[in-house]
Structure 1
Amino acid sequence: MSKPTSETPPERPNDTSSNQQDSDVGQRADTTPTDSDVPAVEEVKGKPATDVSLISGDNKPRKYKTDNQSFFMQRGYQILLVLGLIAAFFLVMVYQTLFGRIDQPQKMVTIEKGQTYYGLLPQWQQQIPLFSASIAKLYIKSQVDAPLHAGIYQLPENPTMAEALQVLEQGAKAAMVKVQIIEGKTSKDLYQSLRDNPGIKKEVLTADSDNASIAKALDLAGILPDEVVNSNDPIVNHNLEGWFAPDTYYYGEGTSDKQVLTDLYKRQQQALTDAWENRAPDLPYKSPYEALVMASIIEKETSVPDERPLVSAVFNNRMNKGMRMQTDPTIIYGMGSRYEGNIRRRDIDEKTSYNTYQIDGLPPTPIALPSASAIEATLHPADSDALYFVATGTGGHKFTNSLDAHNQAVKEYLGVMREKRSQTPPQ
């Protein structure tokens, strides 16, 4: 190194020390380590390197490429979280399927012959969130051994599927008896059918029971109009005609007649209430009971389901015009046990409580057990101006708007019947 000249400024102490420090640092950085330095490096291996920014004055930390295990740990946690959420969702589905409650009151449920457990699932699927039909089927397959038995079952209020299955399984352990009531039959037919059924326990239908005692035993006070309760006509007095839903039912052997009649009454009451609440406007019926009376007449007048709304329209139109209904089934019912299979002129002319040829308006009670479809037709008549109908003799009826057209239809019917008789060989 040369000596400074006179033009060269004298060195300052700080400059000398600083330059010397920089030189030393540079020398250390450029110098290859000796063998004696290696152990020192090994001793600090695995420890964080010295932050050179403290020496170089650079504020940004120097980045080093190392294996980052935390990335894989975070990825694993994410996968576990997703799997946990899936498992939780599945458990919620299982719980809702088996223990989610359907919103309904305690009620009797009829299981028809041939129905399966799987066929009952849609009701739960529609009303329970996250209900899984697949889980339900798997549960039924693994837990239920016997097939579903036809019968009447009482489900508890707001049942779960598991509770309902427990109730329905009891049917496999009990002997069942069949109770068949055809629409259009009378309450008298129903009573006799229950009396004759050996599997039904008799509590109400005793040997000396009549309308009044049956109504009292069933505790159905309030469902009959005062004029029916207080009538002097033995056919009318406390007559529960029409109040039992016709159908085919299965009950456990030993079920009482009181239970059967109460169940059938509740079913009919529900059908009538539902139809009445959704009835068409401007009908001539003042109460649901009057609609029940009309439904029984419609049930007796035709066995063709498609004709019921038209028959309903005829009677609706006649009542609105103040015309008498003039329907033969009311004559027959009013005759009671005196009816022998034919209606004669004197029967038409006889004034009974039910003969609509002789009385205005509706008879005092229904004349048969109407089906739910007859009740529905009563409260939703067809859009028709017809005032008359008569059998065709070949199936169904012909509906007409005038008396002349009706008389012609009657002639046609009589002609068909004469032709049939002429083709029938003598006995």
Structure 2
Amino acid sequence: MANSTRKKPVRQPVKSSQKTKPILIVLILAVIIALIVLYQTLFAAAVDTEQQVSVEKGDTYYSLLAKQGWTDNALALPALAKAYVSLSADKPLQAGKYTIPSGASLASIMDILQQGGQSEQVVIRIVEGKTIKDLYQAIKTTDGVTLELLTPPADGYAWTDVARDNAAVAAALGIDAPNQHLEGWFAPNTYHFNAGVSDKAILQKLYDDQKRILDEAWQARDDNLPYQTPYEALIMASIIEKETGIADERSLVSSVFVNRFAKDMKLQTDPTIIYGLFDRYDGKIYRSNINEKNEYNTYQINGLPITPIALPSKESILATMHPDKSDVLFFVATGNGGHKFSKTLDEHNKAVEEYRAVMRQKERQ
């Protein structure tokens, strides 16, 4: 009988690709689940209904969203939501009231807060040539402004009250001005802020704008101007602002005053008389007002008044730094818009008579 042997089956080695397939499947599933969790955490609705949110000074993303409970509303993983928000935890938010729409996700809420979103707006229009008294009153009486520095609005706001407000504003903003008189230091313009903005934030913005405008204009000024400091130029800009609202006249008015300085003439500008009367001004200038000696009346003093007399625009500041080249020394209103400029006193006196004739005719009509 012939011998026979049974061969043992040879076991085939398992390929590495076969070993990794289950691992890859697990990893892919884990990534898919993580993406679903991430999406649900960041992009699923975190609020059910439209909400109005007030952001207070000092609020950050994390403190606000945690206070509102929106991180806890994350459907999948509140801890992940908190970690996401914490990346911007220390970034301050602009105070104001924000509208968070129904169905907003955590990511969209963050974007709304960052961009200002649908926040309610406070609009403050500061007209060039107005005074700081007008500015303070506008801020105080605008809905949506939080008062931190200025006294609450009241009937009969007087210049003595302005002095008190000036002291608080100068201390808070670090403005170094003579006797803490802040006239002229705030840029007139139309400004938009989020509701809830503080008066300090508004005034800081206006002051920073005006200081930048003045500094840049001073650096680029013409040679041989009669002003020794930027502040003196600011004072002159406020006078130019009050003398004419016509853009094409500003530089020529500026040259009149430069020419008067060169001849040691008094500036003799009516707006300085008016400003120096403060609450006593009743709409008219009397002979007694012209003869009154004070630090503003340029009919009585040599040179500039002690402070600006209004909030000058950028255009008036630039006109101060770049006066026209002329030999005119006088100007007077025509009565029909604009001014007539003269080189001599005789010419000026005739122009004054023409102005008075025009006004008499208008009164008769």
Report the TM range for the smaller structure's normalisation: 0.5 to 0.7
Corresponding residue for residue 210 of structure 1:
165
Q: What displacement does 1:383 show?
A: 1.0
Determine the C-alpha separation between the residues in 1 that align with 2:238 and 2:284.
20
- Read off the aligned partner of 1:336 and give its amino acid letter: F
Corresponding residue for residue 253 of structure 1:
195
Corresponding residue for residue 336 of structure 1:
278
State the TM-score, normalized to the length of structure 1: 0.56
1:184 aligns with 2:129: yes
Cα RMSD of the aligned pairs, angstroms, is 1.6
Q: What displacement does 1:392 show?
A: 0.4
Corresponding residue for residue 366 of structure 1:
308
> Of the candidates 350, 368, 383, which is equivalent to residue 292 of structure 2?
350
State the TM-score, normalized to the length of structure 2: 0.65
Q: What displacement does 1:327 show?
A: 0.4
Corresponding residue for residue 117 of structure 2:
172
- Read off the aligned partner of 1:210 and give its amino acid letter: D
- Read off the aligned partner of 1:183 and give its amino acid letter: E
Determine the C-alpha separation between the residues in 2 that align with 1:265 and 1:169.
25
Determine the C-alpha separation between the residues in 2 that align with 1:255 and 1:213.
18
Higher relative contact order (CA 8 A, sep 6+): 2
SS of the residue corresponding to residue 134 of structure 2 reads helix
Determine the C-alpha separation between the residues in 1 that align with 2:292 and 2:133.
23
Bigger Rg, which one: 1
Q: What displacement does 1:353 show?
A: 1.4
SS of the residue corresponding to residue 340 of structure 2 reads strand
Kindly provide the CA deviation profile for residues 65-122 of structure 1, in whole angstroms up to 9, marking residues without a partner as x: xxxxxxxxxxxxxxxxxxxxxxxxxxxxxxxxxxxxxxxxxxxxxxxxxxxxxxxxxx
Determine the C-alpha separation between the residues in 1 that align with 2:273 and 2:166.
20
Q: What displacement does 1:219 show?
A: 2.1
Kindly provide the CA deviation profile for residues 285-325 of structure 1, in whole angstroms up to 9, marking residues without a partner as x: 00000000000000000010000000000001001111000
SS of the residue corresponding to residue 296 of structure 2 reads coil
SS of the residue corresponding to residue 336 of structure 1 reads helix
Q: What displacement does 1:167 show?
A: 8.7
> Of the candidates 409, 412, 426, which is equivalent to residue 351 of structure 2?
409
Corresponding residue for residue 323 of structure 1:
265
In 1, are the aligned partners of 2:149 and 2:165 still within 8 Å (CA)? no
The runs of at least 4 consecutive aligned structure 1 residues that moved more than 4 Å come to: 166-169
Q: What displacement does 1:214 show?
A: 2.3
Determine the C-alpha separation between the residues in 2 that align with 1:247 and 1:214.
19
> Of the candidates 390, 395, 414, which is equivalent to residue 332 of structure 2?
390
Identity of matched residues, %: 57
> Of the candidates 299, 302, 306, which is equivalent to residue 248 of structure 2?
306
SS of the residue corresponding to residue 173 of structure 1 reads coil
- Read off the aligned partner of 1:407 and give its amino acid letter: N
Corresponding residue for residue 57 of structure 1:
none
- Read off the aligned partner of 1:190 and give its amino acid letter: L
Count of residue pairs the alignment pairs up: 246
Determine the C-alpha separation between the residues in 2 that align with 1:167 and 1:281.
50
Q: What displacement does 1:212 show?
A: 1.9
In 1, are the aligned partners of 2:112 and 2:118 still within 8 Å (CA)? no
Q: What displacement does 1:211 show?
A: 2.2
In 1, are the aligned partners of 2:169 and 2:200 still within 8 Å (CA)? no
Within a 5 Å distance, the mapping from 1:86-97 to structure 2 comes to none
